[in-house]
Amino acid sequence: MSEAAATAATATRSVALRYRFDATVEALFDAWTDPQMLGEWWGPEGVRTKVLKLDLRPGGEVLFEMTFEDGTVSHMTGTYREIDRPRRLVLVITENCNTGLPPGIEPQIAPTPVTVDFIDHGGTAEIVIQQEGLQPGYAELVSWGWGGGMAKLKAAVQQRAS
């Protein structure tokens, strides 16, 4: 995976992130839509995730149980808006992870739309993540969380390919 190009714009409350993988767009899309694979990589380093529910259809819900290194458990929920295999996923995170926030960072209460585009580069692929509706300060945490998750995704995809 190449270095992520990240833009955290607190004025617009969005993050735009790009990640390159030695994988096909189909393999990456599957990693986002298969409950077992999704649980292997969702969340930053040090967080174990179980996918408790994944109803992959527009209007369907996804529910994550995230366990942090100190044993704290947090839940995240989302609703799928668009599924276009293997090009795009759009979901709205309706309950964000607000566990262990640094001092001065307020919990993210409002839903946050997430658009994930899968771009084929002929033998490699790129994932572009756009997350909107973030309050100031929370955008940096989101960038960090996606970065850790994408590192775990790279490892999971490589392990399955070998």
**Separation of alpha carbons 118 and 33, rounded Å:** 13
pLDDT the model gives residue 105: 87
Mean pLDDT lowest among 19-33, 60-74, 96-110: 96-110
**Separation of alpha carbons 57 and 106, rounded Å:** 32
pLDDT the model gives residue 93: 96
- CATH code at 46? 3.30.530.20
Q: What is the mean pLDDT of the chain?
A: 90
The tokens for 72 are 């704290």
First to last CA, the chain: 17
Domain of residue 64 covers 5-161
* Preceding peptide of 86 cis, ω within 30°: yes
- How many distinct structural domains can be found in the chain? 1
**pLDDT tens digits, one per residue of 36-85:** 999 999 999 999 999 999 999 999 999 999 999 999 999 999 999 999 99
- Record the pTM: 0.89
Q: Is the pLDDT of residue 15 over 50?
A: yes
**Separation of alpha carbons 61 and 66, rounded Å:** 16
